[in-house]
Amino acid sequence: MREKLEQLRNDALQAIVTASSVEQLQEIRINLLGRKGELTALMKGLGSLSAEERPVVGQLVNRVRDNIEAELGAAITSAEEKAIAVRLQSERVDTSLPGRHPLKGTKHPVSLVIEEICSIFAGLGFAVAEGPEIEHDWYNFEALNFPPEHPARDMQDTFFVENNLLLRTHTSPVQIRTMLKQKPPVRIIAPGTVYRCDSDATHSPMFHQIEGLMVDTKVTFGDLKGILTVFTNQLFGQKTGVRLRPSYFPFTEPSAEVDIACVICGGKGCRVCKNSGWLEILGAGMVDPEVYRHVQYDAESISGFAFGMGIERIAMLKYGISDMRLLFENDVRFLRQF
């Protein structure tokens, strides 16, 4: 028994010295000191010894066990420290490096312009109204005084869905829906997405518009010019020139195109304004009495004006963007500028 214990101790110490990892040392512990380990088996054999040998061998077993446990504990501690040192070396962090800040998204230029325009008109007493993008022909054309033969109703200009449903070509139907639900006075703007069969550097099949409507007693063309002058001066600067040119729209009479002094050359003439010094930004006019008939308004006692503008065109002028398609390509390099 003594020889076995001595041999077991020597073999265990040798195995502990040659072990190269914590896992190997834990395996040695289990093989020697576990419930089915070699030293445990020898201790169970103490009962077969004589009464004189039993205490002597028992003390020897305890000394061998304590020796093995001490060597194992020291070896495991050393192996764990080496493993941590290796890990720290391989996963070293350079604390002198600057921190990495998460990238923050920015608002799209179209959203920025919509918010700014809505804010300006809110200061002038206009509320924001909305309507469906899939619209009925009656709201989109007929109630706005578009005759049946008008070119805008053609398939090549309008995206028709089925029967009399279509993708709205402007946000003016919101004006009709609002007047049907609300009696004068009415003062709203209607921002939203619209659709037309058109696509090139300055046109898109899907774009954004803001329509405006003001209906009350004694509203004049002078009120229209005053409102639009305040709007353009706040959007483009107080010194921005404004002019109105006669035009035609089915739902307004008289009608006008609104120009501003070229924001690129300051009205001196350049390639952008075709050397005219002026840029068209919106259309406007006094609401045609025929429109009032469709919404059961008394054209004899009230009057009003309407206007509409393309947001992408405003954004291109405000931020100096040369191609409308840049607004829809989602190029991160472009969007980061805003």
Q: Give the model confidence (pLDDT) of 22-55 as tens digits.
A: 888 888 778 777 777 777 766 666 666 666 666 7
Give the CATH number, domain containing residue 170: 3.30.930.10
Give the Cα separation of 194 and 210 in Å (integer): 10
The reply to whether 86 and 121 lie within a common domain is no
Nearest residue to 271 (alpha-carbon basis) of 279, 281, 260: 279
Q: What is the pLDDT of residue 73?
A: 83
Residue 101 is classified by DSSP as P
Q: Give the model confidence (pLDDT) of 112-167 as tens digits.
A: 999 999 999 999 999 999 999 999 999 999 999 887 776 766 655 788 888 889 99
The reply to whether 80 and 143 lie within a common domain is no
Beta bridge partner(s), residue 213: 188, 306
In terms of residue numbers, what domain contains 70? 2-90
pLDDT under 50: residue ranges of the chain: none
Q: What is the pLDDT of residue 199?
A: 65
Q: What is the pLDDT of residue 156?
A: 54
Give the Cα separation of 212 and 82 in Å (integer): 75
Q: What is the pLDDT of residue 201?
A: 58
Q: What is the pLDDT of residue 7?
A: 75
Look up tokens 């720290």; give the residue. Answer: 88
The reply to whether 263 and 131 lie within a common domain is yes
The reply to whether 133 and 62 lie within a common domain is no
Q: What is the pLDDT of residue 144?
A: 92
Cα Rg for the chain, rounded, in angstroms? Answer: 43
Q: What is the pLDDT of residue 45?
A: 64
Q: What is the pLDDT of residue 127?
A: 96
The reply to whether 139 and 30 lie within a common domain is no
The reply to whether 287 and 138 lie within a common domain is yes
Number of domains present in the structure of the chain? 2
Q: What is the pLDDT of residue 202?
A: 58
